[in-house]
Structures are given as structure tokens and as C-alpha cells.
Amino acid sequence: RERTMAALTTATEDDGDPSLETARRDLQAAMATRDALEAEASAITSELESPGPSGGPAMGVKTPLVDSEGFPRADVDVHRARHLRHRLACIQTDHKAAMKTIERLLPVVLAPRDDQESHQAPGRIFARITQVRAGSPASRAGLRVDDAVVAFGDAVDLADLKAWTVSHVNVEFPVVVDRGGHRVNLRVMPQAWAGEGLLGCVFVPAT
């Protein structure tokens, strides 16, 4: 837990208005922390809810660990169960802290700014798609591998792209890609699906 919270220190210790670059860096750190915590929580929950050795009962997330007479159960690993449950509780606390940091920094990163043109000229390619998973929101929207991103909502670079996606879950917005020299207009809606992420595709910086 100490390593997890260390990743949030910079993003939470200053309640003032951070600079844009600092906000972007701290937002990315908070998002990475959130993703790692969610992955760990999923693995712990899976272990707790899976049958024990030789098909024994699952330890469970909230199942009592003592029998009807108040003694530790003999059919589950009580020590292991307590350890996992404690870790899960710590993860939930850390996850709330990460989400508060994300909620605080998103408006800073996505706020309109006068120097926006200096980051990217209108119509300039700033990212490329290297992978699109079948059945993903990106696939359903019509995004393809090798598409070059020209416009992605109000995002102006790759750092803004992820922040924009997280702040527009279940909200459709316009995306323009360059596909073989032709501009293609699409509508994308980030949302939870069976796979990882909110879009199910991989972006890399334009070269």
C-alpha cells in the first residue's frame, strides 16, 4: 500500500491550481494507480471467490471465518482470507483517493486555453492506432488499425486523449481520422465492455 500511495503523493499534496504540465503528469500517475489497484482488486476477489483446494468452499469476500461455535473454520485458510480481505479494504481506500485526484485534475487538463494552437495546429495528426480489439467500442465506432487521429473530441495531443476518454464515459463525441490520405468522420462512445479499457484500442504518438 505504501508504494501505491506514493504514486499519489505529488498529485494530492498541493490543493492549489497546478500548471498544465504538472496536472497532466499527475493525472497520468493517478490513472495508472487507479488501473493497477483495480487489477489487483479483481485478482484478490477472484481468489476469494474461487473454490478451495480439492474443491473446498471459497473463502469468500464477506463469508464468516468462524464456525457456529466461534472457532476458526477448518475448511478454509483463515489466515490467507484475512490477509486478502485486509488488502482489499486498503485498495478500496486508495482507489477512492485516486479517483478524487482524477476528478480534481481532469477539469484543469481539459480546460480551454488560449495557447491551444501552439500544442497542435488544426487538422494535424497527433496519434496513430496500432490495435483495435474485436467487439470493442472502438471497433463498433469504425476505428481501424493504422488510422491516424486528426481530431478526438477536444483533445489536442496524446496526453489529453486519455483524459478526454475518461471524462466522457457513455458520451458520444466526434473523431476524425486520416485513413489512406482520406479524412473519415466517426462518432465514438467510451464505455465499459467485456475487454480492457473504455475503448479497446491502442494509441501511440504520431511519428
pLDDT digits (tens, 9 = 90+) for 90-106: 999 999 998 888 888 87
pTM, entire model: 0.55
In the chain, DSSP finds a helix count (H) and a strand count (E) of: 6, 5
The pLDDT-based confidence of 53 (bands split at 50, 70, 90) is: confident
pLDDT tens track for 17-26: 447 788 888 8
> In this model, does residue 117 exceed pLDDT 50?
no
> In this model, does residue 66 exceed pLDDT 90?
yes
Nearest to 48 by CA among 25, 68, 76, 13: 76
> In this model, does residue 122 exceed pLDDT 90?
no
Tell me, what's the pLDDT at 28?
A: 83
Q: 37 burial class (0-12, 13-18, 19+ CB within 10 angstroms)?
A: buried
The mean pLDDT value for 32-37 works out to: 88
Contact 190, 155 (CB under 8 A): no
Nearest to 108 by CA among 207, 30, 197, 204: 30
Tell me, what's the pLDDT at 110?
A: 65
Tell me, what's the pLDDT at 111?
A: 64
pLDDT tens track for 138-194: 999 999 999 999 989 888 788 889 888 988 899 998 999 999 989 899 999 999 999
What is the rounded average pLDDT for all residues in the chain?
A: 83
> In this model, does residue 118 exceed pLDDT 50?
no
Element (H, E) at 130: strand 127-132
pLDDT tens track for 145-160: 999 999 898 887 888 8
